[in-house]
Structure 1
């Protein structure tokens, strides 16, 4: 395994809202375009290179909608310019079909998009449409990040690559340490199965984690050569267990930890270069 110090600067992504939490969970969770833009500016200042965006309907519920995405992206760009890579989610949350997920991405044509492998290509029958969708992303220079919830999914993705269904030599991936369950607490050791000796290797991999150990998990990942995602989508707590005042507080805590370990923090341009944007 390569030394972390021989690798590219570490990119910090912020996932500030997700599709589940509301103001009842934390008053600073950004739900509107204006709130997302303000959060983006704060997190860029704190060290983030990318923002992972969910949008909501008028009742605060999870939404995949091209117009809502365009409004949110415009607000973020008006505020931070190119200081952040803007990644939208295609998450179904049990509401949208793979066809609907892919359709909204085609409509928006974002800079970047996250794709949960288990949602977008749930079975072998859906592999061909997935391959066509990836080919479209590649042609349109939309950067995907494949979300992997288990080592088995990493093996499956590698198999799709070997069969020529993925038009990138090494597509960026996100390892999720845990699940969206009440009281979920990730631990750094949860990463080890993804990095076991016989597991596939991806050139650009990131980690997100749940609960107050979020900073410890992603710092461990960075030291092993990975990149990181933090934010209110998965965690509301600082490393000492106190409530974070904002998403920027979580970004800043991790930026300090990475700096203390001698790791360089990537900016948006460096992340875009790493992803071939």
Structure 2
């Protein structure tokens, strides 16, 4: 069972290149430190993109296991999730499916509690089935009303990520569509880049949890650079809780 998030999940690194920010965590040790600091600042769950020895995003079991184990040791009571982004396998659906299926070799301490699955990417139903067979909970990433409609083919998801990447995306319309077709599961609303801070504020007004971290933005709500993930978490909690 995936515990609900009351306010904030931290997204530690995303697809950013090593060195893109001085505090961007890539190695297991760096991810562990960043996660511990973010959780101490108020994050209730951790999302990360594992990397290989060269710093590239990876779904390989060894890389996933190393990242998850390091963060779990640092934050033993905090749910840990990873990406399944198709770009990591150069959009090769079979390669992604094989890599994720390989997580079966990982012992529980090295296996993520949840994984994010982008609804717009091909291979959705097979990937969901594999993750469920592994006991890994699923967050469905929804980028549009069309993505929300596509969730009618997948039942009983614990969390839906309403992800606003563009000002053209109407978050209210996506949320309404999820309700209209009866999709269950917790809603988490967040944005990236210029949409990040407006979505944190909107999530607070709607009473929905949100996400923040160096994956989403390198600056605070006023545009100033931030020191790292922990500072972003602290600022997001203030924005989320601010009165209308």
Give me the TM-score of the superposition, normalised by structure 2.
Answer: 0.83
Higher relative contact order (Cα pairs below 8 Å, separated by 6+ residues): 1
**Is 1:89 aligned with 2:76?**
no
Moved more, 134-143 or 148-157: 134-143
SS in 2 for 1:93: helix
* 1:195 alignment partner in structure 2: 175
Q: Indicate conservation of the 8 Å contact 1:14/1:48, yes or no.
A: yes
Between Structure 1 and Structure 2, how many residues are aligned? 231
Deviation at 1:133, TM superposition (A): 4.3
Kept after mapping to 2: 8 A contact 1:155/1:199? no
Counterpart among 206, 230, 235 of residue 253 in structure 1:
235
Question: What root-mean-square deviation, in Å, do the aligned CA atoms of Structure 1 and Structure 2 show?
Answer: 2.5
Is the 1:55–1:64 contact (alpha carbons within 8 Å) kept by the matching residues of 2? yes
Residue aligning to 2:11: 15
- Measure, in 2, the Cα distance between the counterparts of 1:15 and 1:120: 23
* Runs of 5+ unmatched residues, structure 2: 104-110
Offset, 1:176: 1.4
- Secondary structure at the aligned position of 1:62 is classed as coil
1:220 aligns with 2:202: yes
Is contact 1:212-1:241 (8 Å) kept? no
Deviation at 1:19, TM superposition (A): 1.8
Report the secondary structure of 2:121's partner residue.
helix
Alignment match of 1:54 (pick from 49, 59, 68): 49
Q: Secondary structure in 2 aligned to 1:13?
A: strand
Q: Mark the runs of 5 or more structure 1 residues left unpaired by the alignment.
A: 1-7, 122-129, 180-185, 263-277
Does residue 173 in structure 1 map to residue 160 in structure 2? yes
SS in 2 for 1:240: coil
- SS of 2:87's equivalent in the other structure is coil
Tell whether the 8 Å contact from 1:10 to 1:222 is kept in structure 2 after alignment: no
